[in-house]
Amino acid sequence: MNPFFEFQNEMNRRQFFGRTGVRLGGLSLAAMATSTSIAKAESSTSAVFPALPGFPNFAPKAKSIIYLHMNGGPSQIDLLDYKPQLHEHFDKDLPDSVRKGQRITTMTSGQSRLPVAPSKYNFAQHGECGRWVSELLPHTAKVVDDIAVVKSVHTNAINHDPACTFVMTGSEIPGKPSLGSWLSYGLGSESNDLPSFVVFTPRWTSSAGAQALFTRMWSSGFLPSSYSGVALRSVGDPVLYLQNPGGVTSNDRRRMLDALGQLNRRNLERYGDPETATRIAQYEMAFRMQSSVPELTDLHGESESTLALYGPEVLQPGTFASSALMARRLVERGVRCVQILHRGWDQHFNLPNDISAQCSDTDHACGGLIQDLKQRGLLESTLVVWGGEFGRTVYSQGTLTKDVYGRDHHPRNFTMWLAGGGIKGGITYGETDDFSYNVVENPVNVNDINATILHCMGIDHSRFTYRFQGLDQKLTGVENAQVVNELLS
Q: Which of 61-75, 108-122, 251-265, 299-313 shows the lowest per-residue confidence on average (mean pLDDT)?
A: 251-265
Query: For 224-245, how does the pLDDT look when each residue is reduced to its tens digit (9 = 90+)?
Result: 988 999 998 777 667 766 677 7
pLDDT of 291 higher than 80 = no
Q: What is the DSSP string of 372-393?
A: HHHHTT-GGGEEEEEE-S-EEE
pLDDT band per the 50, 70, 90 thresholds, residue 280: confident
Q: Which of 154, 164, 156 is nearest to 211 (CA)?
A: 164
Query: For 455-483, how does the pLDDT look when each residue is reduced to its tens digit (9 = 90+)?
Result: 999 999 999 999 999 999 999 998 899 99
Q: Which of 14-18, 183-187, 315-319, 393-397 shows the lowest per-residue confidence on average (mean pLDDT)?
A: 14-18
Q: Please report the pLDDT score of residue 258 as a whole number.
A: 77
pLDDT band per the 50, 70, 90 thresholds, residue 268: confident
Angle at 302 between CA 297 and CA 304, to 5 degrees: 135
Q: Please report the pLDDT score of residue 208 as a whole number.
A: 66
- Per-residue burial over 173-203, b if 16 or more Cβ lie within 10 Å, else e, is eeebbbbbbbbbbbbbbbbebbbbbbbbbbb
Q: Which residue has the higher pLDDT, 289 or 378?
A: 378
Q: Which of 178-187, 201-210, 282-291 shows the lowest per-residue confidence on average (mean pLDDT)?
A: 282-291
Query: For 18-74, how does the pLDDT look when each residue is reduced to its tens digit (9 = 90+)?
Result: 544 444 444 444 444 444 444 444 433 467 889 999 999 999 999 999 999 999 999
Q: Where are the alpha helices (DSSP H) in 190-249?
A: none
Q: How far is CA 250 from CA 119, 236, 254, 297, 464, in A?
A: 58, 20, 6, 20, 40
pLDDT of 453 higher than 70 = yes
- What is the mean pLDDT of the segment spanning 244-257? 78
| Alpha-carbon span 228 to 181, nearest angstrom | 6
In DSSP terms, 125 is beta-bridged to 132
How far is CA 102 from its chain centroid?
29
Please provide the average confidence, as pLDDT, over all residues in the chain. 88
The backbone torsions φ and ψ at residue 485, rounded to the nearest 5 degrees and listed phi first, read -65, -25
pLDDT of 289 higher than 80 = no
| Alpha-carbon span 430 to 144, nearest angstrom | 16
Q: Please report the pLDDT score of residue 479 as a whole number.
A: 85
pLDDT band per the 50, 70, 90 thresholds, residue 12: low
pLDDT band per the 50, 70, 90 thresholds, residue 13: low
pLDDT band per the 50, 70, 90 thresholds, residue 432: very high
